[in-house]
Amino acid sequence: MLDTCSLVHLTQDYELLSCEVQNIIEDYENTFCVSIESIRELIIAYRSKGLGRKKWKTETDIINSILDEFFIEILPIDREQIVAYSKLQINTAEDHRDPSDHIIIAHAICNRMPLISCDRKFQFYTKQGLNLISYRRK
């Protein structure tokens, strides 16, 4: 599972992904998915900051590209993920208050999927069952 930042790096600036993550992505035995929350964040960034405007002409292009060009499955949020989200202990020590991150983390934990992220604050959630593949942007 890719978090939003990793999804942006994959679709916009592949070279920012670490060599380890590039190897994981280039292994065609692996399948990838994102939470619908990442798509929502990407659309918001497209609308408010112009993120991806060189690649995509519309918000629908974002979705179609993720599905048809990058072959990434978009996972819905249902009751299981919301229950996992409600039980998630938040990393207040590092002031990690981003609810989108929390949904994505809960989604990965609930679905028992490794989460690829460059966000250092995510390490806190490994104690709660998050299988984190962390990388530093190049």
Summarize pLDDT for 53-97 with one digit per residue, the tens.
999 999 999 999 999 999 999 999 999 999 999 999 999 999 999
Beta carbons of 46 and 53 less than 8 angstroms apart: yes
Summarize pLDDT for 1-48 with one digit per residue, the tens.
999 999 999 999 999 999 999 999 999 999 999 999 999 999 999 999
Beta carbons of 73 and 35 less than 8 angstroms apart: no
| Domain chopping of the chain, boundaries | 4-134
Assigned CATH for 4-134: 3.40.50.1010
Give the pTM: 0.95
- pLDDT value at 137 more than 90: no
Summarize pLDDT for 127-136 with one digit per residue, the tens.
999 999 999 9
